[in-house]
Amino acid sequence: MDNKNLVEEKKNEMINEPVNETEERGVTKAVLDQSATLELDVPVYVDRVRRKKKKGVRVRAVVAVPFTILIFFLGMIAEHYRVLGNMEVNDQYFLMDDTKLSEIKEETGQEATAEFYEMVKDYGQETQVNVKFMRKMFPDKLVLKSDGEFLYLPIDETIEESSYDYSRLEKEDEFFIYKDEEGEVTSKKGIDVSKFQGEIDWELVKEDGVEFAILRAGYRGYGSGKLVLDEMFMENLEGTKAQSIDIGVYFYSQATSKEEAVEEAEMVIEALRGYDVTYPVVLDTELPSGDGARTEGLTNEERTEYILAFCETIEEAGYIPMVYSNLNWFILKTDYKALSKYDIWLANYDTQPYFPYDFQMWQYSEKGQVNGIEGDVDLNICFKDYSKEE
């Protein structure tokens, strides 16, 4: 959410020493479940075959064979003929549809299927196939990719699962919408903004279909730890209020103690006095970009404790608390079960979200184009209409 201008602000921090107002611009977008598309760069195996000399001339035959794929699939045929007997042996296997996968599963016994999937895991790791394929192959697991490794984690059945039917998710111009069984739109279109969007014409934004906006209230300095109010926050508050656009806010945290987390929440509460905020007050917790982040050494337990302290303070003040991050950060860097009692805002730039647990808001693009805003803006869909919440 807040990572694009980190370099610029770090330069400003060095220029303006000793006052450190650098902020971490948030999620490193490269970690938001982005992996290479399926491109199998296969080495060519060259075999020199000696033949009988004819008239003193040695004949050499050069045979080009896609070695890796050939060995892999021949091995599977030899070991699991029942599994692969009716399957065309080529790289299109990794693009097969759900029907073909179902047929293979039906044809195999439990033991053979388990062995087959282990081979798929090994091949996936060796060739770095698309993470989407591995998620398709292992729907009963939470499949992540971290530091080049695939992780197959159990899905915690004690956490409320997502119930969204993504066949009802549709694209309408720039925005996603979600419909109920009767075809009625039940979602809300939104954006999130900070000073980096500059001056915003909120009338044009409203005319373009935006129904809610999550405004950055501020941040804690990336290195200095200083609390900073977003310089466009008050202007954006007034602009959204004038156009009757539903308002939520977020704060980018760099808290290193429970006391600092409470301090961040209290700053937001004070800034919101006199304004009607119907959407959540969000803690933005993400991967620090670059070196020198004051939160870099936090443990998962410490990070979770500080997030909970922020949310509890916000809730006590009468606002709806929410936590923002991406899949890997939630699962690998926090105690997600502890956080799941609060509403969740998921960052996942794809054609549909990948998250097994319940969440209320989805940030699906950082490159949206909305009238009234120069340049890119984050786009969001909210599956819950907070304006109707009691």
Average pLDDT, the chain: 79
pLDDT, tens only, 133-188: 889 888 999 999 998 899 999 999 999 999 999 999 999 999 999 999 999 999 99
pLDDT, tens only, 344-374: 999 999 999 999 999 999 999 999 999 999 9
In whole angstroms, what is the distance from residue 136 CA to residue 351 CA? 15
Do 349 and 232 have their domain in common? yes
Percent of the chain with pLDDT over 70: 69
In whole angstroms, what is the distance from residue 89 CA to residue 74 CA? 8
In whole angstroms, what is the distance from residue 76 CA to residue 83 CA? 8
Check pLDDT > 50 for residue 13: no
Look at 110-114, 138-142, 187-191, 252-256 and tell me which has the smallest mean pLDDT.
Answer: 110-114
In whole angstroms, what is the distance from residue 381 CA to residue 103 CA? 36
Task: Indicate the SS3 state at residue 7.
Answer: helix
Domain boundary residue among 154, 186, 210?
Answer: 154
Closest CA to 247 of 280, 291, 294: 280
Helix axis angle for 67-79 and 110-127, nearest 10°, is 170
SS3 string, 224-289, reads CCCEEECCCHHHHHHHHHHCCCEEEEEEECCCCCHHHHHHHHHHHHHHCCCCCCCCCEEEECCCCC
Residue 231 one-letter amino acid: E
Token pair of 351 as six digits: 């054609």
Do 173 and 85 have their domain in common? no
Q: Tell me which residue range forms the domain holding 199.
A: 163-388
Q: What is the CATH number of the domain that holds 215?
A: 3.20.20.80
Contact 379, 175 (CB under 8 A): yes
Is the pTM of the predicted complex or chain greater than 0.85? no
Q: Count other C-beta atoms under 10 Å from residue 321's C-beta.
A: 22
Do 228 and 341 have their domain in common? yes
Do 179 and 305 have their domain in common? yes
CA distances from 7 to 87, 199, 288, 292, 368 (A): 51, 22, 12, 12, 22
Do 347 and 212 have their domain in common? yes
pLDDT, tens only, 287-340: 877 677 888 889 999 999 999 999 999 999 999 999 999 999 999 999 999 999
Check pLDDT > 90 for residue 75: no
Task: Indicate the SS3 state at residue 43.
Answer: coil
